[in-house]
Amino acid sequence: MAERRFEDLRWPNDDPIVDIPELSVELGERLIVFGPNGAGKTTLLRLIAAIEGEGGTPYASYLPQRPYLFRGTCRANLYLGLGTDARGKAEDLADRLGVGDRLDDQARTLSGGERMRLSLARTLSVDTPLVLLDEPLAPLDLRDRESVAAVIVDALDGRTAMIVTHDRDTAAMLGDRLAIMIDGKILQLGPVAEVLATPTDDTVAEIVGVSNVIDGNVVGRHGALVEIEWGAHRFFALGDHAPGTPVKVLFGGEAVGVHKSLLGESSPRNLFPGVVSEVRETGRLAEVVIDCGSPVVALITPGSLDTLDLAPGSDVHVSVKATAARAVAVGEAE
């Protein structure tokens, strides 16, 4: 697959905050840069946006973490740096992002979330092959994030994007691949679900946690839960999506129970048969990968590992508390 390569992403030269010898971004993908505060994520975007250092590209549209609106109307800010042909698209995006009716107001009257929406509309309207977004969903209310994510994906329209976040839901909603960044370096890079489920080392596991991400379509709603068709299984998770919506379900490895025999009357809704495919003892906890049609990672104590006598090939049942799993709509164009 065609890719865009950045080399010597290092800044500053003495005692660098970011030190990445090489980073390849596949054309058309949405690459999530994920990591704790102070990992150098913002500095990485600034390097790639050619604001800092060398090795970046001026052909990137960059949305800073705290977008700033200048004196004047929202419309003047929306048009800033846009050619006349991009203005219509910007206004359309402002509409879809819920700030279309504020364009004639003074920019200083906008709330933090509205500032981000207006700035997103402008950033996404610039016709550049690479779009860089720094925490685009952070100032938004939780309930609005999915709809804004959908607009972002639609507006990118196949362009390459790098999106910084330290939120797992945002990563799952927006990302194709996930780069884990810690102390200025990228420690792991791969498909979102794979990286969240299988951290390569303890440092990554400690910071990112072990999470499962499964894909499916909503087939029904039951109170606070949605029923999702997941391969041959039905999976229940928190959500309020309409039937037919493609979703991803996120749940931590700690929410997964592993059982040698079927449970009694208190059996959870999410109970699936599977076969242990891998056992990794990575420190104080053990990760057990169970093939239930798709892999599910469980995080258990070494004590349980012994009691259950788990080894590759063991037949088990996997349970997941429905209230510990959350469905998010996949950011795909409608």
Contact positions vs another protein (CB under 8 A): 49, 51, 58, 62-64, 66-68, 70-72, 80-81, 106, 108-109
Q: Give me the least distance between CB of 14 and another protein, in Å please.
A: 16
Both tokens of 245, joined, read 């919506």
Planar angle of CA 301, 303, 304, nearest 5 degrees: 70
The smaller minimum CB distance to another protein, of residues 89 and 321, is found at 89
Q: Give me the least distance between CB of 66 and another protein, in Å please.
A: 5
Q: What is the rounded CA–CA span in Å between residue 181 and residue 167?
A: 13
The smaller minimum CB distance to another protein, of residues 57 and 200, is found at 57
Q: What is the rounded CA–CA span in Å between residue 146 and residue 137?
A: 9
The smaller minimum CB distance to another protein, of residues 99 and 289, is found at 99
Residue 109: left if φ>0, alpha if ψ -120 to 50, beta else—which one?
Answer: alpha
Q: Give me the least distance between CB of 47 and another protein, in Å please.
A: 12
Residues 6+ apart with CB under 8 A from 15: none
Q: Give me the least distance between CB of 132 and another protein, in Å please.
A: 9
The smaller minimum CB distance to another protein, of residues 14 and 309, is found at 14
Q: Give me the least distance between CB of 106 and another protein, in Å please.
A: 7
Q: Give me the least distance between CB of 246 and another protein, in Å please.
A: 33
SS3 283: coil
215 touches 248 (CB < 8 A): yes
The smaller minimum CB distance to another protein, of residues 71 and 284, is found at 71
Q: What is the rounded CA–CA span in Å between residue 165 and residue 109?
A: 27
The smaller minimum CB distance to another protein, of residues 62 and 230, is found at 62
Using a 10 angstrom Cβ sphere, with 0-12 exposed, 13-18 middle and 19 or more buried, the burial of residue 16 is: middle
